Structure formats: C-alpha cells, structure tokens
Amino acid sequence: MFHALVSIKQVPDTTNIRIDPETNNLIRQGVPTILNPYDAHAVAAAVEWKRKLGGKVTVITMGPASAVTSLRECIEMGADRAILISDRKFAGADTWATSYVLSEVIKAVHAQEPVDLVFFGKQAIDGDTAQVGPGVAVRLDLPIVTYAVKIHEVDLQNRKVVIERKTESRNEVIRTSLPAALTCEKEIAEIPYASLPDLVYSLRYEPELWTTEGPITFDPSQLGLRGSPTTVFKTGTPEKHKGGEVIKTAELGVENAVKTALDKILAAEGMASLLGVAK
Amino acid sequence: MVDKNEKLTFDVIVVGAGLAGAAAAVTAARGGLNVVMVERGVAPGSKNYFGGALYTHSLLDIYPDFFDRKPPLERPVTETGFWFLSKDGMVRMTVQGGKVNNNPIDAYVAQRAKFDAWWAEQARKEGVFLIPKTVVVDFIRENGKVVGVVTDRAQGEIYAPVVIICEGVNNLLTQKLGLIKHDFKGNATALAVKQLISLPAETINTRLGLRSSDEGLAISVVGDVSMGLPGLGFLYTGKDSLSLGVGVTLDALSAAQIKPYELLQRYLKHPMIAPLIAGGQLMEYGAHLIPEGGWSTMPQLYTDGAMVAGDAASMVNAMHWEGTNMAITAGKAAGETAVEAHRKGDFSARTLAAYRTRLENTFVLKDLRQYRNMSRFLHDHPEFMDVYPNFLNDALGMFFTGFGKPKKQLYSDILKSLTSRRPLVKAVGDLVAFGRTVMGI
C-alpha cells in the first residue's frame, strides 16, 4: 500500500491580481482564490501513483476556513482524505512557522498510517519562496528532491524512489530512499478531469479540521507571528523591462549591423573582460 | 459518507445556474423537491455577461427580502432614457425623479460574474445541489421521454423525471431535443461587445451629473453608435466603473464587414462619449450573443420530461432591454410546473404544458407576442438608427441656434433637413409602422 501525503496552499489568483501603485501591496480585495497550480499538479502525480500501486492520498493545508474549497478540489482529483489545519493562532506564519506546523501534522498522520512520499508544489504563486517544502523535509529529516518533473519509479518493496528533477542546465535523475519528499513542477502530471461521481463526492466531502485544540498539540511559541522570525521591511515592484534597441540589417547591411551590435556589447561596462577579448 | 457508486438521482435537474436556472431551482426546492443545478462554468456567472441592469420586480418575486440579503449590486438606475447620437453631436432624452423615483428603484446595475454567483448561492442555501465545471451534452430518454442528462464527465449520467433547460443563447440541448429545428439565426441574434472602464466614483458623478454614488444611469444609445446598422449602444454606471457597449445583429455585421471591436472603438471615440471615459482604466472587455428573435425564434417550451427557459427560449425584448427578468419569471414558472408534475406523478408534455399557460399570463409571452415583428421591423427600417437620430440632432440644434433669423425660414430649414433624408410621406409611414409594430397600437 502506497501512502502519499500532499501539502497544498490556497492562493489568490495572481493572474488576476493588481498592485496598489501607492503602497506596493497586492490588492487582494475581490480577487478569487485558487488551489496553487503547482500543488494541483503535485496532487495529480500523487493520485496517478496511488492508482498504479494501490493505496491512499492524504492532502493537508494550513489556511483559513475558505481553503476547504481547495481541499475539495484535491478530493475531486482523487485524493482520499483531506485535513484543514486552521486556527487564528496560526495566522501570520512565515515559512519557518508554517513548516513547523506542517511537519508536526505530517508526523501525526505518519503515526496513523506510514507515509511513503510527501509532495509539495515547487512554490506558491503568491509568495514564490519555495521554502516550505524543503523546510518541512529538513524538520522531518527526509531526503528532498526539488523541482521534480517526473517520478520514474516507486519501489515500495525495496523502499526506493527514482525522481527526475530540473536544474538550470540539465535534468538529473535521482534515486533515494523512502520515505522522501519532493517539490513538483507542472510537468510531473496532468490534471485529471474527474468523473462525475468523484466530483459529486468531493462537493459533499467535509475535510477534517485540526486546530491548536487538537487532535495534536503544538508548541505555542512556534506558531503564527510569534513563531515567525522573518520580517518584511520593504516590498516593491520590479521596474518594467525597457524595450531593447533594434539594429536593422536592411538599413546597415549585415556586416555593419553585426559590427554595430558588437561595439555596443563591448562598450558595456565589464563586458570585454567577461568575454575575454580586448576592447 | 457518500457512496461513489450510487446512481445520481434527483427530482429535478436544472441545466445552467444563471438567472433562469437558479430561479427555477430554488422554486422547485421550495416545493420540497431534491434539485440539482449543473453549471458549465467554474462558478455560476463565470460564463455570463450583459450590459446591464437587473429589474427589481423579478428579484423580489423570488426573494421578497432581496435587499436585506445584501446582493452585490452596483448603482440603482435613477436616470434612464435615450441618447441620440449624430456624427458629432447628441440629443439626450432621459427621465429622472417623478415616475422613476420609486421605492425601491425599478432597476439596478450589476455585474453578472459577481451577481450570478451570489444568486446561485441563495438557491444553494435553500437546499439546491450545485455541480459546477460540468457540461451537459445530451439527454437520457426512456420511451421517448426525457429522464435525465448525460454530462461530459466519465460516468456522467444524472437521472430525474424532469429537466429544466436554462442553457443560454447557445441552445444546443434545446436543438438536440428537437424543440427548435434550427441553429440561432444571424438576423435574430445580436452580438454585443462592451468595455468595463474603471473611474473614481466622484469622477463618474461629476461627468454624468449624478448627485451621489447612490444615483446611476441606464442609457440606450441610438444613432451613430451602430453605424446605421440595426442595433443599439448602451451606457450603465457601476459604483466606480462605466459599462459601455454596442450590440448589432450578426447578419448586419457580416454584411457591412465591420468587426465588433471596431464598432465599439468608434463608439468610445465619439466626441460626445470619449470625454466621459477619459483617464479611465479598462477593466474588462467582453462580448456575448443575445437572442433577439423573440417570438419568431422561440422554441417549443416543453416536451415530455423537459422545459426550456431564459435565453435558450429566446426570451428577450431587445427594445426594452428585458431578458434577465423574463428569464427569472420563466424559471420560476418552470420550477412551479416541476413541483406540480411531481405532485401529479406525471411528467408528460400534457402536464408540463402548464408551464406555457403560466407564462401566457405574464408579461413574458404577452410582450414577446406583441413584439414579434420587432427584429424584422428594425431590419426593414434602418432609418431609425440613422435618419431620425441625425434629424433630431439637426432639428434641435437649429431650433436653439436660430437667433436673428426669420423663424419661418428656420422651420422650413428644419423640415428640409428631414425631407432631404426621408420623404415626408415615408416618414409618416415609418411612424405609423413603429406604432403598429412596436407599441401594438
């Protein structure tokens, strides 16, 4: 039996978001919330392997009561159990405090039913930190494969998993022991179109609610704002990229155009030494 | 917990969670029925679009405590009427106060994505089960009777002895049932395009002469806006946005080789319109088909095990911008009929005919019958979109600038500005035809 646990987040739909030009803050008012897209693919991958191997997918999220919608979406995709970790005392958590809460919950779920693989999206589209997955893995002392694009093999007998991950220059195929954690790119699996019974089941599904009152206990000093060492002292929007200069071969001829371009490149500060040529 | 293998069975299936659908669903649920509403959008309203304003009478008819429920509305319509555009001028003919100043106000501007989601949520609160993100593609029939629907999902059958089709203008299911023999027609279907432009509320108030943000406009714009084609423009005021658009029949657009967005751009650049939206930020650009054929393109409204309501049933009165209220009224009538059918235990066409009888007694079928020649009338009388708006602009313009001139000459000039465009005999004929076709007198 394969037991996958997926940690998801409900995020504002940033494709719809605007930035207040005065305060540089996200205008969240009226912006719909969605299941973080990378997390959706992580759930899809977990479900795909559950269907191959037989077993169970548990989904957890820490967030407000409205995050139930995103949990239901995971059930719709084929997850079996969903846990909402929600309490005012968790509010204001940074990635440090969040990974503490998640790892405590995962420990508890693991104690109920041993977990083989812990899935995360590669990052959330609102904060873009990509810290929670690795943070949880470190706290749980699990091997972590980030930016996973494909799960080649899950060998429950020999407790091994083979995962392909993306790096800036090439893909790496990594074998590691189970249990393990991974953070997923969208390529990891296609989002399935649920059957009608699965959809209807998900619409009626009520996730379990875990709070500071139970079923497990948390160290109060590690929760919420109090447990969050990160301080945001300034936020800003990056400057818009200015359009480049166009050198037209039709006007200058190819040779002259290339020469003009080269001169401009070499004239740029530090470029000549970087390229190892004389000015 | 729910058994995933149970056969999905309800008392009523409503296809489409728009204004008609949610009205039908909640009415049936109040009659004690187990109702499912199947919606193709991610959420109710996500596929819906209009100008536009909602009409209070229909909203209160479903929810007598409508306003206490805090519906997501924009502004009340406290001033309404026509703006007649010439190429570079405008005659405004609007009404405010007096008969428009009712409590509550008769019409409210809204945005469908927000409103319809809320509208469907009210139905859910009364027990209606909503299945979103799912397209109904066919029917399940037994002995020729509709007994359920097939969706685009695996194991996608849902069973119910009666189905209420509120699928909107693109009425593929209505066609599939054979309730109408043809696809929608280009001469009876308008394409409306609009922009939602955000502006500070105070700017809107100043530019449109509104005393506060609790006042708002609903304007039909006639004349240069449609480039002489059979169609109308509109302007509605949101809280901090303006909705401007134009709708023209598909046939006219294609014959004139005009792209809808060109028509809209031209409208927004009109010298009388551009200053109203100057400095605004484009929030939304959208388009939707409107079934304007009314009576002439109305499908059969019921068959064994099924009824049709709303845009799918061509329930739009283009002249009065009515459609949303017809949809709600028809949805309610269909819901009541479903309850009656369950009481009788008979879902045949004979029982469901009561749906049509109910509608005969409302403005829905009365008006659609009266306006049955409307779209052909406008098609045959393009001068209402061109000659008369221009004449009106010239006539009033000349009347109010004819200082120091002999007035006999002035009136002769004004008359000439009409007769040079349209012979007097024909103009009188147009007026008579208008009275006969449109007003039913």
Angstrom distance (rounded) from CA A26 to CA B152: 37
Contact B176, B26 (CB under 8 A): no
| Out of B1, B130, B134, closest to residue A196 by CB | B134
What percentage of residues in chain A have a pLDDT greater than 70?
Answer: 94
Average pLDDT on B49-69 reads: 96
Angstrom distance (rounded) from CA B330 to CA B332: 5
Task: Give the type of residue at B13.
Answer: I
- Best mutation site among A73, A196, A199, A204 for testing chain B: the one with the most B CBs within 10 Å? A196
- Token pair of B214 as six digits: 């609790």
Angstrom distance (rounded) from CA B375 to CA A57: 58
* Interchain pair A199, B129: CB under 8 A: no
Angstrom distance (rounded) from CA B35 to CA B359: 22
Average pLDDT on A54-81 reads: 95
pLDDT digits (tens, 9 = 90+) for B60-97: 999 999 999 999 999 999 999 999 999 999 999 999 99
| pLDDT value of position B7 | 87
Contact B287, B263 (CB under 8 A): no
Closest-CA distance, A256 to chain B, in angstroms, reads 42
Range of lowest pLDDT (A226-240, B351-365, B378-392) = A226-240
| Out of A195, A203, A204, closest to residue B153 by CB | A195
Cβ contacts of B253 within 8 Å, gap of 6 or more: B191, B229, B259, B260, B263
Average pLDDT on A86-100 reads: 89
| pLDDT value of position B71 | 97
Q: Give the position of tokens 């599939």.
A: B176
Angstrom distance (rounded) from CA A169 to CA B398: 76
* Interchain pair B4, A197: CB under 8 A: yes
* Interchain pair B129, A203: CB under 8 A: yes
b/e string for A187-207 if b means 16 or more Cβ within 10 A? ebbeebebbbbbbbbbeebeb
| pLDDT value of position B441 | 67
Contact B367, B317 (CB under 8 A): yes
- Closest chain B residue to A34, measured at CA: B42
Complex prediction ipTM: 0.85
| pLDDT value of position A279 | 55
Average pLDDT on A205-220 reads: 93
Average pLDDT on B37-48 reads: 94
| pLDDT value of position A225 | 85
Average pLDDT on A221-240 reads: 81
Task: State how far the alpha carbon of B166 is from the alpha carbons of B54, B172, B173, in Å.
Answer: 18, 11, 10
* Interchain pair B131, A200: CB under 8 A: yes
| pLDDT value of position A92 | 83
Predicted structure pTM score: 0.87
pLDDT digits (tens, 9 = 90+) for A127-174: 788 889 999 999 999 999 999 999 999 999 999 999 999 998 899 999
- Token pair of A189 as six digits: 């699996």
Q: Please check the confidence at residue B1 and state whether its pLDDT lies above 60.
A: no
Q: Indicate the pLDDT class of residue B384, thresholds 50, 70 and 90.
A: confident
Average pLDDT on A226-231 reads: 86
Average pLDDT on A94-100 reads: 90
Q: Please check the confidence at residue B239 and state whether its pLDDT lies above 60.
A: yes
- Token pair of B434 as six digits: 């208008």
Closest-CA distance, B22 to chain A, in angstroms, reads 18
Q: Is B131 on the interface with A (CB under 8 A)?
A: yes
| Out of B1, B153, B158, closest to residue A194 by CB | B153
Q: Choose the most confident range, by mean pLDDT, from A109-118, A128-137, B293-302.
A: A109-118
Q: Choose the most confident range, by mean pLDDT, from A24-38, A74-88, B178-192, B410-424.
A: A74-88
Cβ contacts of B331 within 8 Å, gap of 6 or more: B19, B20, B21, B22, B23, B24, B25, B27, B164, B166, B309, B310
* Interchain pair A197, B155: CB under 8 A: yes
| Cα B45 to chain centroid, rounded | 14
Q: Is B241 on the interface with A (CB under 8 A)?
A: no
Closest-CA distance, B378 to chain A, in angstroms, reads 40
Average pLDDT, chain B: 93
Q: Indicate the pLDDT class of residue B380, thresholds 50, 70 and 90.
A: confident
